[in-house]
Structure formats: structure tokens, C-alpha cells
Amino acid sequence: EDQVTQSPEALRLQEGESSSLNCSYTVSGLRGLFWYRQDPGKGPEFLFTLYSAGEEKEKERLKATLTKKESFLHITAPKPEDSATYLCAVQPVSSNTGKLIFGQGTTLQVKP
Amino acid sequence: EAQVTQNPRYLITVTGKKLTVTCSQNMNHEYMSWYRQDPGLGLRQIYYSMNVEVTDKGDVPEGYKVSRKEKRNFPLILESPSPNQTSLYFCASSYRGGGYTFGSGTRLTVV
């Protein structure tokens, strides 16, 4: 069964304290892995797409990396405005390209 | 502005009363999808569509119907809503299944 697991469930950081969020996935084949940010009461906002092991994408203080079994979202010197829930999703090769499986998310709180 | 528009934002209804949540996108995206989000269960895909008249089931399709008669619209239909369909619903669209753009959500309560 295709599955996505994110850890930790919640993370509290001080402003400037770098850390990483983990997304482990079990799929028969990976078509793509996606990272989203979700603020309370809003729809998820697309951040990155990764397609193959070794690929990296960066945006401001965020950097996403991909291996054959997991992806990491590295947050460098976070600011309070980075506080949000970060969601990981995978698109299995075994399904139509419209299918997307989400993890439960990591809720990040950055304190000033 | 490129966006996905859902209506209504909030809806309280009674068990068994048919309802439709509308979704429209202005980006000419081929792919559209519906999700529900519940505490502890995360985002789960209900239905998705890869083009006009092409739809497929996600992980939790029971109790829902969709149609894609036009590229820009993808309504979600609950023929006979039940309390277990109380949830936060999101519509999303994307170009060929890449990163999705999500709507602002519809909070549905079925009493």
C-alpha cells in the first residue's frame, strides 16, 4: 500500500535555529514528490516538486531534497513567518497522474 | 489573478439534503481534484479529473459525485449528506498533474 509518513508531527524552533522536516514514503514507484505549506484556515500553497533521487530545490530559507525512500525539507535560519504546517505528497507511478497521497504534515512554530 | 474559487466558504445543512459545492479555475488547467481534510487524518483525495469528461476515484469517493463538463469547473455533489461528511473541503487544479493550486476551502457541517 502506498503510504506517506511525516515526522515530527510538531516542531518548535527559536528564530534562527535551523532544522529539517522528514517525509518518508512507500510507493511501488515514484512519479513525483511535492511539498506544500498550509497556514491555518487556508488552502495548501505549493512549494516544490522533486522527481528523482538526488534532486534538490531551493526557495528563500527552504531547501527540499529527495532520496529513494525519503525527502527532507531543510529550513535555514527560520523566521516567525515560516510558522505553518508543511505537507508532503507523493504521486505513485502505479496510478493515474492525477492521484496524490498526502502525509499528515509537520506543524512548525518559530518563536522570535 | 490566477486562482481556484470555491463556493460556498461555509455551509451548514441537514442529513439527506442534496448539496453542490462549486469549484472554478481560471488557469486553463487540465487537472482538477477534490480533497477533504480532517483532524488526525490529513488531506485525503476524493475524486480527480484529468480532463473534460475524464474523472477517477481517489481514496475516499463513497458518498460523493463529480462531473467535468467544462474545463474550468469541477463541482462536488453530495446526493445524501451524512454527519460523517462534516469536514473541510478543498478543490485544486494543476497543469498536467504537477504542483496543485488550492482553493480557500469549504467548511461543511452536516447535522
Give the cell for residue A20. 529539517
Residues 72-111 of B with CB under 8 A from A: 90, 92, 96-105
Give the pLDDT mean for A94-106: 85
Q: What is the pLDDT of residues B32-80, one digit of tens each?
A: 999 999 998 999 999 999 999 999 999 999 999 999 999 999 999 999 9
Q: Which residues of B touch A89 (CB under 8 A)?
A: 43
CB A77 within 8 A of CB B15: no
- Give the DSSP H or E segment for A81: none
Structural Rg of chain A based on CA atoms: 14
Contact yes or no for A97 and B31 at CB 8 A: yes
CB A104 within 8 A of CB A89: no
Per DSSP, the three-state class of B85 is helix
User: In whole numbers, what is the pLDDT of chain A averaged over residues?
Assistant: 94
Q: Which residues of B touch A47 (CB under 8 A)?
A: 99
Beta-carbon pairs below 8 A across chains A and B: 67
Q: Does A49 touch chain B (CB under 8 A)?
A: yes
Give the pLDDT mean for A84-109: 90
The pLDDT of residue B98 is 75
CB A47 within 8 A of CB A39: no
Grid look-up 514507484 returns A29
Q: Does A91 touch chain B (CB under 8 A)?
A: yes
Closest CA to B28 of B90, B84, B72: B72
Q: How close is the nearest chain A Cα to the Cα of B12, in Å?
A: 17
Give the cell for residue B106. 469549504
Q: How close is the nearest chain B Cα to the Cα of A7, in Å?
A: 14
Question: Residues for chain B: how many in total?
Answer: 111
CB B30 within 8 A of CB B98: no
Phi, psi of B84 (to 5 degrees): -75, 0
Share of chain A above pLDDT 70, in %: 100
Q: Does B53 touch chain A (CB under 8 A)?
A: no
pLDDT band at B96 (very low <50, low <70, confident <90, very high): confident
Grid look-up 518559530 returns A110
pLDDT band at A100 (very low <50, low <70, confident <90, very high): confident
CA B24 to each of CA A75, B85, B101: distance values in angstroms, whole numbers, following the listed order: 34, 22, 12
Contact yes or no for B99 and A44 at CB 8 A: no
Q: Which residues of A touch B40 (CB under 8 A)?
A: 104
d(CA A8, CA B45): 23
Give the pLDDT mean for A52-75: 96
Q: How close is the nearest chain A Cα to the Cα of B99, in Å?
A: 6
Contact yes or no for A87 and B43 at CB 8 A: yes
Give the cell for residue A96. 493515474
Q: What is the pLDDT of residues A1-20, one digit of tens each?
A: 889 999 999 999 999 999 99
Give the cell for residue B101. 493550486
Q: How close is the nearest chain B Cα to the Cα of A92, in Å?
A: 12
β-bridge partners, A26:
A3
